[in-house]
A and B are shown apart, each in its own frame.
Chain A
Amino acid sequence: MERLWWQNKRIYAVTAGIAILALLVTSTGASTVGGSSGAYLRPWAGAAAMATAGANSALPDYLSPWWNPAAMSFHKGRVLSGGVGLRSLGRTDAFGAFEFKVPPRLNLGLMLLYRGDPFLNDLYDENENPLERASYTTFTGKIAFSYYLSRKMSAGLGINIRFQQLPTYIEGSHVGYSSCTDIGALDLAFIYQVSKVWTMAAVLKDVGASMTWTVNLNRGNSAQIEERTYPSLTLASKYQGSFLDKPLFWTMDMKAYLFDGKFKTLERPQAVLSTGFEWRNWEMFFIRAGLGELLINGDLLRDHDNYLSSFPFKITAGFSLDMQRWRNGVRLNYGVSTDKLWAGIDQQIDVQWNF
């Protein structure tokens, strides 16, 4: 008789390993990641990821250039995907991605993500006069490669192109903009298939990401600001078990920030833990749910009152619907999530086409 997923001892070994790593990360105090460069890169991209609380790095079904370039090696054929997302407080997402094979061992992926706030309203000037509506705009492009090392292993590389535009100066009620561009930051990924049902991955993102702003100020003045994004290390797992005799996928990501943009050890590292499920009770309709972005830092042990007073997490849910009646290989994905402030909900809807 096949063992149920919770009867597999390796699951507990992985969980224990992640927990130990988490405790190592947490031993030095409260986080300083909030407010650091590249905050707009941290929210999840795609509906499947949102539905499983961002635990999507081990072996994503689509949008691999974002989550894990190495995963493209395990996809059959080509994957075209696109979607839009509306998040709380006016944050908006839209993306398109295309992944394809270059035989015999190489896979290529391209993606472009828009993220920002197109309706940045309720801004006031120093005299409390309302300003014209402004917008915050970012574009992130990724060119990703994966190499099929063996039936169990693959490696991936992503090259980032980033653009940001912010309102920075005010003339009367008019708001002017400043922007910056960065090309060349790298994502590195590695996948190891422990068994037929268990995949593990490590993804190092935003290595060498640096953006230099020339901020336009009033009266023709300007200022230079350089920001360096903290690279993140994600350890991820995807395990296929069963529940009520139907396939159940359990995914877990632990994303850690250990270094600053110059690869100096962070004085106060932090990690976030996300876990999600996908239950395939019906062939056409998959149910997803998760609990994400559980903050793990030193406050958990040392200042738990403060930690609990601002304890952030996200509850997520979603589904994936097979649209083969319309076209073979097309799936509609939907994800919904609370945000960490309880200011509203985040929603995302995507279409993926495997062909």
Chain B
Amino acid sequence: MKFRKTRRCSITANNLLRFSVGIALVFSALSVAADCQSGKGITSNDVIAVTGEADTLWTLVWEGPRNQFAVNSIIHGGDSVSLNKDNNWLSYTLGCISSDIHDLAYGDGRLVLCFDTLKFGQPNPVLLLTRNGNSINKQDFSLGWPVDSSSLDLTAREVVWVNNAFYFACMDAGLVRWDYKNQTKSVFSPGKSSSVPVNEFPGLESKPDTMLRVIGLERHENDVMVITPARIWRFSTIDSSWDSSISSQLVNSELNFSGFEAVYPEPGKDGLLLSRIRVKKRIAGSWKDTLILAKYSRTQKNWRSILEQTVYDVAFGPGHYFFVLTEKGISAFQDSLADTLVTRSAVINTSVFQNWITRNFAISEPVLTDLHYVGLTDSTGYLLLASTDGTFLARWQYPPAEKVTFYQVKRAPPVRSGLKQTYARPGVLVADMYDQQSRTVFIYNLSRDANVTIRVYDYNMDLVKTIISNKFRRAGNNGGQHGRSTVENEDWWDGRNSSGKMVAPGVYYYRISTDIGERAFGKIVVAK
């Protein structure tokens, strides 16, 4: 899975690695998120990734105002109604995570998240989440590299679940298998059938070959497709053997192969094999770097470019359909399995999808972040599309209908513009046993950009506090957060007056006024 990170702090792995040499110790448990908490509902619309299987879905979300990540999970009932009910979702806040989450994978009831290397001074911290009835439990650990290995880049870039084990793409170290039932962690170098336990990894003594860096992986049946810069390997999880028979040959004469970046194998034996490849393309007499999506021909043992765009993710549906998430949106293709180019399908069309989303949710240009297909039967399933404005879901069947309709799985409902609908979230502000700094956020949506003032008053309409005064806010359909005008880290009230003193329990009123004449009033109950 290669999801798009939109607003993460950029702490590079290598910098952290060097900075923390000598600090890293072997830990079996880490306190990654000390202030974790779980609850009901979906905690944010800013969905970074979506994963899961037919029984359970997980989304990873970014909670901007609190500067932290959360996961939301649902036991999938197989219908969009259950997905849309907030109470069917469990949420789990990861606490303040200041750096990237690289990848997540779900298998056997467990969700694994791998963080940026050396997060909290530890190499490869990993968070394991399991669903237990109405709660989500967590277990934090690192992969447990020896101290002297920390000068290598051991970033766990990607993770997959195959054959009762999680596999991590760990750069200089290679492929790491974590068998959580036997609590063993082993390192495999591409091409070598032998392995070493992670805590005995020789580090620099292994003289890692940069061309054998494991930069990505993907599951295919009982195999792991492993990506190194110059080659795609097939690692058998049954006998731990490596197959290097997939060539790196490009059939397009105007393209020069630079390196593999990702691989997308279609489920099933001899299925379609796609890859995102970095190439040099000759344009106006000079070679320029570009990315292509290429299809592999097993008979001719070469790759053929099918799409010259930056591809973020690919998901496969039944009937040799596949869905491609690119910088321009989402498209559907169908493959004939012959050595000819794939055909673009009209059932999912980027412009139609954009128009639909704009019309229904006042979201002009959602940033699509991830794509996931959940098969329910051999010919039906769900296509899930994550975006910075919620998750969208389409029921898929083969052969497909003429038109595919997306539904939105989204906590934050659209708010009518022109301040015709405003409210405080939550409307009852009490001290939270987990979060004494509980606060309420003012939800509103302007019809056009304006300067906004928000004030809170008590029962006698005496001014309690000015929340914002003449602050510029965008209309929801003009780039506002979640299709609204609310700026969640500014438009909030914690129940204190202008002197910082907690107000008395009671009903309070707020007024949202603008310099374009739109205004609204609402109520908040405070008892904290």
Assess the B455–A310 pair: CB atoms within 8 A: yes
Q: Given that A129-B41, A136-B525 are contacting pairs, would A35 and B505 also be in contact in the complex, using a CB cutoff of 8 Å?
A: no
Assess the A168–B428 pair: CB atoms within 8 A: yes
Separation of A174 and B427 alpha carbons in the complex (Å): 13
Residue total for B at the interface (Cβ-Cβ under 8 A): 51
Which of A39, A91, A166 sits near B525, CB closer than 8 Å?
A166
In angstroms, how far is the closest chain A Cβ from the Cβ of B433? 6
Interface pairs (28), CB distance under 8 Å: A32-B499, A35-B462, A35-B465, A35-B503, A36-B458, A38-B504, A39-B506, A42-B462, A43-B460, A91-B459, A120-B507, A124-B424, A124-B425, A127-B40, A127-B41, A128-B411, A128-B413, A129-B87, A131-B428, A166-B506, A213-B527, A215-B430, A215-B527, A223-B431, A227-B505, A340-B461, A340-B462, A341-B511
Assess the A167–B411 pair: CB atoms within 8 A: no
Using a Cβ cutoff of 8 Å, how many contacts connect chains A and B?
163
Q: Which residues of A contact B458 (CB under 8 A)?
A: 34-36, 39
Separation of A43 and B466 alpha carbons in the complex (Å): 21
Q: A residues 27-61 with Cβ under 8 Å of B?
A: 30-40, 42-43
Q: Given that A117-B523, A124-B423, A128-B425 are contacting pairs, would A39 and B459 also be in contact in the complex, using a CB cutoff of 8 Å?
A: yes
The interface bits of chain A over 139-180 (1 if a CB of B lies within 8 angstroms of the residue's CB, else 0) are: 000000000000000000000000010111110100100100
Separation of A341 and B513 alpha carbons in the complex (Å): 10
Residue total for A at the interface (Cβ-Cβ under 8 A): 56
Residue in chain B with minimal CB distance to A32: B499
B7 at the interface (CB under 8 A from A): no
B311 at the interface (CB under 8 A from A): no
Separation of A91 and B423 alpha carbons in the complex (Å): 18
Q: Which residues of B contact A223 (CB under 8 A)?
A: 430-431, 528
Q: Given that A32-B498, A168-B430 are contacting pairs, would A123 and B504 also be in contact in the complex, using a CB cutoff of 8 Å?
A: no
A184 at the interface (CB under 8 A from B): no
Q: Which residues of A contact B443 (CB under 8 A)?
A: 124, 128
Assess the A31–B461 pair: CB atoms within 8 A: no
Interface of A with B (CB < 8 Å)?
Answer: 30-40, 42-43, 89-91, 116-117, 120, 122-129, 131, 134, 136, 164, 166-170, 172, 175, 178, 213, 215, 217, 219, 221, 223, 225, 227, 267-268, 309-310, 312, 339-341, 343
Q: Given that A125-B427, A167-B428, A215-B505 are contacting pairs, would A339 and B461 also be in contact in the complex, using a CB cutoff of 8 Å?
A: yes
Q: Which residues of A contact B521 (CB under 8 A)?
A: 89, 341, 343
Q: Which residues of A contact B456 (CB under 8 A)?
A: 35
Residue in chain B with minimal CB distance to A180: B505
Separation of A32 and B503 alpha carbons in the complex (Å): 10
Assess the B460–A123 pair: CB atoms within 8 A: no
Separation of A36 and B39 alpha carbons in the complex (Å): 33
Q: Given that A35-B464, A310-B455 are contacting pairs, would A122 and B411 also be in contact in the complex, using a CB cutoff of 8 Å?
A: no
Assess the A221–B42 pair: CB atoms within 8 A: no
Assess the B411–A127 pair: CB atoms within 8 A: yes
Q: Which residues of B contact A31 (CB under 8 A)?
A: 462-463
Assess the B427–A124 pair: CB atoms within 8 A: yes
Which of A32, A172, A217 sits near B430, CB closer than 8 Å?
A217
